[in-house]
C-alpha cells in the first residue's frame, strides 16, 4: 500500500507485532487518544484497549523505570517519549538501568525495551522542543539507535526493534511524520501490508554518484537528495548514503562509497561538537584515508540552542542552500 510518512508505518508495525505477541505493552504520554501526539501509537488503544496501551503522567523517570521493571519480568514495553528534549528527566533509568542491566546481571535479565521519540525542528517550536540529540544515546553502550527516513524503513526497522532482546531507541523526525498539522518533507512509499524486518547496521545508497558522497540520516537525507538531483543536471554527481542506524553503524557501505567518490560531506541535524559528524569522520578516514581527494567536511547545528525565530532557526539547521553551497565548494 502507498504510505505517506513514518507515523503510520511505525504504528502499523507495533500493531502487527502486538497481534502476534501478547508480551508487548505500550505506555507513555498521550499514547491513547492522541497517538503520542506525533502518531506513532495511533489506533493502538482502540484495537488493544487500556490493559495494553497505557497513558502515564508526565513523569519520564517513572515510566522509564516502569519499562525497566516490565522488561525484567518478561514483557516488551514500547515507551513513547513524546519529545526527545525531555529525555533528561528519565536519564537515570535509561542510562544506568535500561542500557546496563543485561550486562550487570551477567545476562540474567534481558532488556527488550523499544523507546520511540520525536526529534527535530523546522516549524518554530523553539529550543526545548526542536532538538535531535541521538548522539547522546549513540554515545552510551547498550542502546541501538534507529533513525528512519521513510515509511518503508520505519516499518521494517520498528519490527526489528520489537524483536530485539536489547533496548532500541527509534528517533522519528516530526517533518517526516506525514501528519496534517506539520510541514512534510518526505515522499510516498510502497509499504508491504505484511510484517517484515530490516537489519540494523545496513545503510542504504539512496542515489548513486561519483564526485562526492553525502552521508546523513532522517530528514537530512531528503534535503541531500533534492540538492543532489538539482546538481546532477549540471553534471555534478552526488552519492547519497542513508545511514538508517547510527548504532550499529554501517562502516562498510560508507567507506566503499567514499573510496569511489573520494569526497565526503556528513550532514546532520544534531549538534556539531562531539556528535555523529565527528564519529563518522573518524571511522571513514580510518578505512579510506588514502582514497580521499579532499578533507572530509560536515554540516550540522552549531553549538547553540535551536531558536524560535524562523529566520534564526533556518540559519542553524542545515538547509538546501547551505548544503548545495558546501557541495559546490568541495567539488570545485
C-alpha cell at 55: 497513558
> Residue 306, by phi and psi: left (phi above 0), alpha (psi -120 to 50) or beta?
beta
**Residue pair 27/172 in contact by the 8 Å Cβ criterion:** no
Helix (H, G, I), strand (E, B) or coil at 248: coil
Residue 129 appears among annotated catalytic residues: yes
**Helix, strand, coil shares, percent, the chain, to 5:** 40, 20, 40
Q: b/e string for 296-321 if b means 16 or more Cβ within 10 A?
A: bbbbbbeeeebbeeeeebeebbbeee
Of 171, 58, 80, 40, which Cα lies nearest the Cα of 118? Answer: 171
Q: State the catalytic residue, choosing from 129, 139, 173, 222.
A: 129
**CA triplet 27, 32, 38: central angle to 5 degrees?**
90
Q: Is 30 exposed, middle or buried (0-12, 13-18, 19+ CB in 10 A)?
A: middle
Give CA–CA dist 179/67, Å, rounded.
Answer: 28
Q: Please, which residues have CB within 8 angstroms of residue 272's CB and are 6 or more apart in sequence?
A: 278, 298, 300, 301, 302, 303
**Annotated catalytic sites, by residue?**
129
Amino acid at each position: 500500500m502507498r504510505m505517506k510518512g513514518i507515523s503510520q508505518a511505525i504504528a502499523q508495525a507495533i500493531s502487527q507485532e502486538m497481534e502476534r505477541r501478547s508480551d508487548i505493552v505500550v505506555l507513555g504520554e498521550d499514547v491513547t487518544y492522541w497517538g503520542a501526539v506525533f502518531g506513532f501509537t495511533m489506533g493502538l488503544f482502540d484495537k488493544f484497549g487500556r490493559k495494553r496501551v497505557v497513558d502515564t503522567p508526565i513523569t519520564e523517570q517513572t515510566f522509564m523505570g516502569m519499562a525497566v521493571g516490565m522488561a525484567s519480568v518478561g514483557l516488551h514495553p514500547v515507551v513513547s517519549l513524546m519529545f526527545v528534549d525531555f529525555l533528561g528527566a528519565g536519564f537515570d533509568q535509561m542510562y544506568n538501568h535500561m542500557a546496563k542491566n543485561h550486562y550487570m546481571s551477567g545476562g540474567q535479565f534481558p532488556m527488550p525495551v523499544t523507546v520511540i521519540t520525536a526529534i527535530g525542528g523546522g516549524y518554530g517550536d523553539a529550543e526545548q522542543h526542536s532538538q535531535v540529540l541521538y548522539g547522546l544515546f549513540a554515545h552510551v553502550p547498550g542502546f541501538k539507535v534507529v533513525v528512519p527516513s521513510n515509511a518503508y524503513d520505519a516499518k521494517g526497522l520498528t519490527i526489528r526493534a520489537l524483536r530485539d532482546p536489547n533496548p532500541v531507541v527509534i528517533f522519528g523526525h516530526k517533518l517526516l511524520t506525514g501528519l496534517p498539522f506539520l510541514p512534510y518533507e518526505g515522499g510516498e512509499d510502497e509499504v508491504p501490508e505484511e510484517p517484515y524486518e530490516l537489519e540494523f547496521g545496513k545503510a542504504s545508497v539512496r542515489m548513486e554518484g561519483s564526485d562526492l558522497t553525502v552521508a546523513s540520516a532522517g530528514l537530512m537525507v531528503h534535503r541531500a537528495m533534492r540538492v543532489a538531483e538539482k546538481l546532477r543536471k549540471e553534471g555534478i554527481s552526488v552519492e547519497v548514503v542513508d545511514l538508517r542506524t547510527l548504532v550499529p553503524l554501517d562502516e562498510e557501505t560508507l567507506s566503499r562509497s567514499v573510496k569511489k567518490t573520494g569526497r565526503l560531506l556528513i550532514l546532520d541535524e544534531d549538534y556539531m561538537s562531539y556528535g555523529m559528524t565527528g564519529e563518522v569522520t573518524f571511522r571513514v578516514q580510518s578505512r579510506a584515508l588514502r582514497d580521499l581527494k579532499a578533507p572530509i567536511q560536515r554540516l550540522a547545528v552549531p553549538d547553540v540552542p535551536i531558536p524560535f525565530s524562523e529566520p534564526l532557526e533556518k540559519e542553524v539547521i542545515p538547509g538546501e542552500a547551505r548544503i548545495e553551497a558546501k557541495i559546490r565548494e568541495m567539488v570545485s
